[in-house]
């Protein structure tokens, strides 16, 4: 999932018509596969709002649905298994 997400967002990061501050903000969370994996781990177990907000504010509002779906499906499933 992280590889697909990073591949999709790499177009935005490389698009020179986008504002540089937006591209840097997205790169901080999703610029490489390793950064995206770390972001997905953070979304799953903890602070999902900053990673979601970067996508919503700088890329497109529809990324909110991806972030919420990931949190509800993956995040709550993993946490419920850990808790037992």
Higher pLDDT, 22 or 84: 22
Contact (CB, 8 A) for 9 and 26: yes
Residue 15 has pLDDT above 80, yes or no: yes
Mean pLDDT (the chain) is: 91
Residue 12: name the closest of 2, 3, 24 by CA: 24
Higher pLDDT, 78 or 61: 61
Residue 39 has pLDDT above 90, yes or no: yes
Per-residue pLDDT band at 23 (split at 50, 70, 90)? very high
């Amino acid at each position: 999932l992280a590889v697909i997400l990073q591949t999709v967002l790499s177009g935005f990061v490389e698009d020179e018509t986008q504002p540089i501050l937006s591209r840097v903000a997205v790169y901080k969370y999703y610029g490489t596969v390793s950064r995206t994996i770390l972001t997905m781990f953070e979304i799953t177990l903890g602070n999902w709002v900053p990673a979601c907000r970067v996508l919503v504010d700088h890329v497109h509002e529809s990324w909110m649905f991806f972030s919420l779906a990931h949190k509800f499906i993956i995040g709550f499933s993993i946490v419920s298994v850990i808790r037992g």
